Amino acid sequence: MREKECNEKEIGISIIVPVYNVEKYLAICIRSLLAQSYKNIEIILVDDGSTDTSGAICDKFAAQSSKIQVIHKKNGGLSSARNAGLAMAGGRYIGFVDSDDYVLPTMYEKLMDAVQKYQAQIVSCKYFSFKEESTPQICIKNHQKESIGVKICSKQQTLKAFFLHGISESVWDKLYQSELLEDYRFAEGEINEDTTVIFSLLKKSSKTVIVDQKLYGYRTRQGSITKSGYSDKFKVVETHLNEIKQVVMKDYPKLLPYFKHFSSIHYYCLLTSILHETYPRQYLKDYKKYRKKFRCIFTYFFKWEKRSVKEYLLGLFLINPTSEIYIKRKR
């Protein structure tokens, strides 16, 4: 991160937005940031080698607002783009926004209010989802009326909330004191990178606050990374889980049951992603390994969160040996 200017000119929040081939949604995202009620912000748009008009859209908005800075770089992936943004960021606090998402007008004001009131290093809010082709306007009207609850968390409470999804695994619904990220960079070339990043930062944070209001709009769309099918790159998810487990066992043994719940959901997702592949047989070895792990912690899958009947039945199917026969026979 760049050297801070003198206090009276210091930027309150740097918002880093990785941009790659999102010409259809980018303007909506940028306008939501420019409309923030908290005004002391800089918006860093990182064009990660887009091949559509996304780069030109970034430049157009930068020409219209002094709050916007643009980086054009060779494509390196989401983590690479975030790292490039961090190198330029000059704010006392850092936020991340995905370029196809939407931020409610009061999000950063409310997060900054919590930061200042409670002297927090991380403030997390909730998010709402809206579908690919829809606009978030209806959701905005609904969530702006919500009352705000605030929870100040100890280290144990923070990590427990993370394992029980009271704090999301995503970087974009949070505000971070810049010192937390001073020597931190995202691992490039990996998927599921947010999980280990958030765990590490929450563990490092001296005080974390949860603002119990949906302020961030997450657009669900088929072309996004999180909607892609299973491939060998997903093996790193288990690596991340094992890394977190070692820390929990060493430093927070009382949180192990909550971590098992957390892990069970990840193994469930890995198994279902293979199950829904057109040719899942090629991943049979991975499937067997994940199924064994899931079976051992299956009771934790339902322990603290309600599941639909469909999820309950699918979970039972996944721990049954017949699911492997299904994988072998599916063409």
* Each residue's pLDDT tens digit, 130-161: 886 666 665 565 555 555 689 999 999 999 99
Q: What is the pLDDT of residues 297-315, one digit of tens each?
A: 999 999 998 889 999 999 9
Q: Residue 270: CA atoms inside 13 Å, Cβ hemisphere, count?
A: 30
Query: Which conformational region is residue 49 in: left (phi greater than 0), alpha (psi within -120 to 50 degrees), or beta?
Result: left
**Two tokens, residue 162:** 């993370």
**Two tokens, residue 275:** 């199950």
Between CA 16 and CA 97 the distance in angstroms is 6
Residue 253: burial class (beta carbons within 10 Å; 0-12, 13-18, 19+): exposed
**199: pLDDT strictly greater than 50:** yes
**223: pLDDT strictly greater than 70:** no
User: Could you tell me the residue ranges of all domains in the chain?
Assistant: 13-222, 229-329
The whole-number pLDDT of residue 287 equals 96
Residue 331: pLDDT band (50, 70, 90) is: low
Quick check: 41 and 13 in contact, CB under 8 A? Answer: yes
Instruction: Name which of 194, 276, 261, 187 is nearest 228 in CA terms.
Output: 276
The residue among 18 and 329 whose pLDDT is bigger is 18
The whole-number pLDDT of residue 147 equals 57
Average pLDDT, the chain: 91
Residue 73: pLDDT band (50, 70, 90) is: very high
Residue 13: pLDDT band (50, 70, 90) is: very high
SS3 122: strand
The whole-number pLDDT of residue 274 equals 95
CA angle 302, 306, 309 (to 5 degrees): 90
The residue among 1 and 243 whose pLDDT is bigger is 243
The whole-number pLDDT of residue 222 equals 61
Best mean pLDDT range from 181-195, 215-229, 269-283: 269-283
Q: What is the mean pLDDT of residues 51-66?
A: 98
The whole-number pLDDT of residue 330 equals 78
Rg (CA), the chain: 21
**205: pLDDT strictly greater than 70:** yes
**202: pLDDT strictly greater than 90:** yes
* Global pTM value: 0.91
Task: Provide the percentage of residues in the chain whose pLDDT is more than 70.
Answer: 89
**CATH number assigned to the domain with residue range 13-222, chosen from the 4 options 3.40.50.150, 3.90.550.10, 3.40.50.2300, 3.90.850.10:** 3.90.550.10
The whole-number pLDDT of residue 6 equals 40
Q: Please report, as a single letter, which amino acid is at residue 217.
A: G
Quick check: 108 and 173 in contact, CB under 8 A? Answer: no
